[in-house]
Amino acid sequence: MSDRGVLVTGASRGIGRATAMAFARLGDRVAVHHRNSAELAAQLVADLPGSGHLTVEGDLADPEVARELVRSAVVGLGRVDVLVNNAGTSILHDLTQMDFEEWRAAFDRTIAVNLAGAAYVSYFVARQMMGTGGRIVNVSSRGAFRGEPGQPGYGASKAGLNAFGQSLALALGGHGITVATVAPGWVATDMSKEELKRPRGSAILDQSPFHRIAEPEEVAAAIVFLASPEATFTSGAILDVNGASYLRS
C-alpha cells in the first residue's frame, strides 16, 4: 500500500475521476480539483476508498487561484507527492468559420487553461517537492502530434504541454522530481460517447484496430505507472495511449 498525497486537476469526471480512484485504491490520499463541479467532486471524494481525501476548487488559468489551490492541497494532504495535470478544455474555434474576436477568445482560453494553468500548478507544486522529490504526470493528447484543424488552440496547447514537461524533466531531475506525459486519443467520456452517436461515430471507432476508444481507467493505469517508483527512468517520456489509432515515429 502507498500513502502519498496526490493532486489531480480536473478530477470530477472522465480521466481525472478514474485517476483519483486508481490512486485512492493504492492507499494514497487525493485532492480532487474542480472548477465549477462542486457536487460531482464531493461525490467522488465520498466514493473514494480510504480516508484523508479532499476537494480543491478554482480556475487554473488564474495564477493566484492556482497558487491558493495548491496551498490548500498541501495543507489538506500534508504534502503533494504526485501531481496529475489533467484539467483541460476543448473549444471549437475553426479559423475558417469564425470572426477574429470570437476565434481569439476561444484560442486564448484554451491556451490559458491547458498550458498556462498546468504550468502555474506545476510551479507551485514543484517548489514544494524540492528536497524530498515527487512525480508530475501531464495529460496531453494525440492532437499534439496529428493536428486539430477545428481546435488549433487545443493542438497547440497540448504540444506546448509536451515540451513544457520535457523541459521540467531536465530541470527537476536533479531534485528527485520526475515529469512524464500521457497522450490519449479518444476516451470514453460523456462528451465522446455523444460524438459516437453522430454519423462519424463509426469512423472514430475505425481509427483504432481494436475498433473502440479507450476507457478512462486505461489512461489512469498509465498515469499511475508513470507516477510509480519503478517509472523513474521514464522521466521526460511521452506515452501514447491511443490504441494504435495514431502512430508517430
Residue with cell 497522450: 183
Spatial distance between the Cα atoms of 188 and 79, rounded to a whole number of angstroms = 32
The grid coordinates listed for 35 are 472548477
186, 204 in Cβ contact below 8 A? yes
Spatial distance between the Cα atoms of 156 and 110, rounded to a whole number of angstroms = 9
DSSP-assigned states of every residue in 207-226: TSTTSS-B-HHHHHHHHHHH
Which DSSP helix (H) or strand (E) runs through 183? strand 177-184
Taken in order 205, 219, 148, 245, the sign of the CA dihedral is: negative
Residue with cell 480521466: 15
Active site residue 141: yes
- Which of these, 62, 53, 65, 67, lies nearest to 8 by C-alpha position? 53
From the list 141, 157, 235, 245, the catalytic residue is: 141
From the list 120, 122, 154, 157, the catalytic residue is: 154
Strand pairing of 238-241 and 5-8? unpaired
Taken in order 136, 137, 141, 146, the sign of the CA dihedral is: positive
From the list 37, 158, 235, 245, the catalytic residue is: 158
Active site residue 197: no
What single letter denotes the amino acid at residue 121? Answer: V
Q: Which residues are tagged catalytic? A: 141, 154, 158
